[in-house]
Amino acid sequence: MIDGVRLKVCGLTTLVDAEYADRAGADCLGFILYPKSPRYVSLRQFCDMAPRLPEGRKRVAVMVEPEASALADVLAAGFDRVQIHFRLEVGAEQVAAWSTQVGRERLWFAPKLPPEVDVPGWILSAADTILMDTFHRGGFGGSGQVGDWSKFQRHQAAHPQHTWVLAGGLNPANIGEAICSAGARFVDANSGIETAPGIKDHAKLRAFILAIHRAREAALKAT
């Protein structure tokens, strides 16, 4: 927790970066188990790293429209949270099945929402945590594009019983504004703190965290 803001560092592929994220104060360490991602880690690679990963940080598996068997393997590997990206077309039945399998309290839903579409009730009722990522037609996440922060703010205000995670193109230059204008209290850093996909830039991560401190200090002074 950084001055009241929780941070997930996502797209980790190495122990060195996971340890750095831990020391910097990340609450969650994200691993992308999606073969088409340039940040892909296989379940085998994750399991090899797992015994040496920092303790006490939530380990988040990022998946795209997983089959039940793949999800079972991921749960057996000891992840604390599962972040599922999906198209709305998968429908309420599939969403409910993921919720039953994972459990709504450790499930993060990341629906692929066109700009004009709000998070539907059948998604809200199936998970406690919603990650709002930027819509991009060709993919599921990791676009590096900034989303609609006012949409995030509106959803967070309308559904305070949920935990809302802001994602999409967050970097040291914009995280301060994201926190102030979107009111985000849980943020996800991925491509905005990299030197190359899957390789974290430690200086950018430090700058990201400093920017969170500054934004929160400025907000406190203003009250």
Contacts to ligand LGQLAAA5 by CB under 6 A = 10-11, 30, 32, 34, 37-39, 62, 64, 85, 131, 133, 140-144, 167-170, 188, 190-192
Looking at this protein, which amino acid is placed at residue 17? Answer: D
Residue with tokens 């994972």: 102
Minimum CB separation of residue 31 from ligand LGQLAAA5 in Å reads 9
Looking at the Cβ atoms of 66 and 169, the one nearer to ligand LGQLAAA5 is: 169
Of 4, 25, 15, 3, which Cα lies nearest the Cα of 189? Answer: 25
Looking at the Cβ atoms of 10 and 95, the one nearer to ligand LGQLAAA5 is: 10
Looking at the Cβ atoms of 5 and 62, the one nearer to ligand LGQLAAA5 is: 62
Looking at the Cβ atoms of 20 and 194, the one nearer to ligand LGQLAAA5 is: 194
- Measured CA angle at 19 (ends 178, 101), to 5 deg: 70
Residue with tokens 């985000």: 184
Q: Which residue is nearest to ligand LGQLAAA5 (CB)?
A: 142
Minimum CB separation of residue 18 from ligand LGQLAAA5 in Å reads 14
Looking at the Cβ atoms of 140 and 217, the one nearer to ligand LGQLAAA5 is: 140
Looking at the Cβ atoms of 17 and 133, the one nearer to ligand LGQLAAA5 is: 133
- Please enumerate, as own/partner, the contacts of 163-166 that have beta carbons within 8 Å and a separation of 24 or more: 163/128, 163/129, 163/130, 164/129, 164/130, 164/132, 165/8, 165/108, 165/129, 165/130, 165/131, 165/132, 166/132
Minimum CB separation of residue 78 from ligand LGQLAAA5 in Å reads 19
Minimum CB separation of residue 166 from ligand LGQLAAA5 in Å reads 9
Residue 168 near residue 184, CB atoms below 8 Å: no
Looking at the Cβ atoms of 99 and 168, the one nearer to ligand LGQLAAA5 is: 168
Q: First vs last Cα of the chain: how many Å apart?
A: 21
Minimum CB separation of residue 94 from ligand LGQLAAA5 in Å reads 17
- β-strand 129-132 against 107-112: which pairing, if any? parallel
Minimum CB separation of residue 83 from ligand LGQLAAA5 in Å reads 6
Run of H or E residues at 32: strand 28-32
Minimum CB separation of residue 182 from ligand LGQLAAA5 in Å reads 14
Instruction: For residues 56 and 28, give the distance between their C-alpha atoms in angstroms, rounded to a whole number.
Output: 9
